[in-house]
Structure 1
Amino acid sequence: MSYGSDVETPYETMRGREFPAIRQFTIFLENRVGQLLEVVRRFEGTGIRIVALSINDAAECAFVRFLISDPDRGREILERSGLAIIETDLIGVELPEGPQPLLRVCTALLQAELNIIQAYPLIVRPHGKPAVAIMVEGIDLAMKTLHEKGFRIITEADLDGDDVTGDGV
């Protein structure tokens, strides 16, 4: 007897190209010359672009966090290379026009009592506009809050599209 064989519950996740969060990969690199270059070269010739990058240096190692234009294929490349990776969900937010756009994002999240844990700019500009990647406590509430306040959320599909401009990535 097979348990659940007569149940038609789909086993698909909400994750994927249409999930509004964007995936960040964190890798740990030995703190020596050329380590970052080796990682970046793994994407050479694949059509995958690094669209955001943050490096936190420590005495023995560096934590490299980045977003790529095709997270599914990129994860495969990183896994095949034997690198230990951590995958985390971030929110991509297009910065609005006008003075102090980051202040408006921070204010919206503060009003919802949400902390920003990490933030860094996207190297590319989806839709030709500046954007930031942020890690927050309570990602679902943060996305809902930002959406309700009129902010445009950047998705993984926006990072892989043809409507992406950058300055020499």
Structure 2
Amino acid sequence: MSSDGGSGTDYLTMRGRDYPSLRQFTVFLENRVGQLLEIVRRFEGSNVRIVALSINDATECAFVRFLLSEPEQGREILERAGLALIESDLIGIELPRGPQPLLQVCTALLQAEVNIVQAYPLLNTPNDRPAVALMTDNIEMAMETLARKNFRILTEQDLKFDDD
């Protein structure tokens, strides 16, 4: 899959991928009051916006996962802060209309024997439509399956803000 189905957009990236995945940044924070605020404030004054957020709390630390409107600039900000971070690829999917849109997504992935590892909603989406970010155990198969079933797969460009 090297284009988006005819619009002429080529998804080949510097990361060597030819599909429109979203980059997730996971940072490890000490489990104490104010840590999240310190991270969020680092984006103040930049054009980076948090478009998805997930927090997994443990006794000693918390794992905070971000999707950012400007991933390259966001990575630089997080690295300058001296934070240990992991970068992962996720799939952004605009949910279809209907009473049970997640059921449709899960059914499609089950039929392809693809497991969902992480899932959380996107805060900023094109067309103001509900959307989710998914980490799967086989991103290539998941993207091919969802595209074949006519789900709208979101790109990093879809998460950018037009004007702030």
Normalising by structure 1, we get a TM-score of 0.85
Distance 1:159 1:13, change over 3 A: closer
- The 3-state SS of whatever aligns with 1:62 is strand
CA distance in 2, matches of 1:130, 1:17: 26
CA distance in 1, matches of 2:109, 2:31: 35
CA distance in 2, matches of 1:144, 1:19: 9
Distance 1:17 1:42, change over 3 A: farther
Contact 2:125 2:158 in 1 (8 A): no
Distance 1:17 1:105, change over 3 A: same
CA distance in 2, matches of 1:65, 1:35: 13
Structure-to-structure mapping, 1:1-169, within 5 angstroms: 13=13, 15=15, 19-162=19-162
What is the one-letter code of the residue matched to 2:98?
A: G
What is the one-letter code of the residue matched to 1:158?
A: D
What is the one-letter code of the residue matched to 1:72?
A: E
CA distance in 2, matches of 1:160, 1:57: 28
Share of identical aligned residues, percent?
72
What is the one-letter code of the residue matched to 1:152?
A: R
Contact 2:118 2:136 in 1 (8 A): yes
Equivalent in the alignment of 1:166: none
Contact 1:17 1:156 in 2 (8 A): no
> How far did residue 124 of structure 1 move?
1.5
CA distance in 1, matches of 2:76, 2:129: 29
- The 3-state SS of whatever aligns with 1:108 is helix
- The 3-state SS of whatever aligns with 1:27 is strand
Q: Gaps (5+ residues) in structure 2? A: 1-11
Contact 1:18 1:156 in 2 (8 A): no
Contact 1:24 1:89 in 2 (8 A): yes
What is the one-letter code of the residue matched to 1:92?
A: G
Root mean square deviation of aligned Cα: 1.9
> How far did residue 137 of structure 1 move?
1.0
Distance 1:115 1:17, change over 3 A: closer
Distance 1:18 1:74, change over 3 A: farther
Contact 1:18 1:155 in 2 (8 A): no
Following TM superposition, the consecutive aligned residue runs of length 4 or more in structure 1 with deviations greater than 3 angstroms are 12-19
CA distance in 2, matches of 1:114, 1:142: 6
Q: Gaps (5+ residues) in structure 1? A: 1-11, 164-169
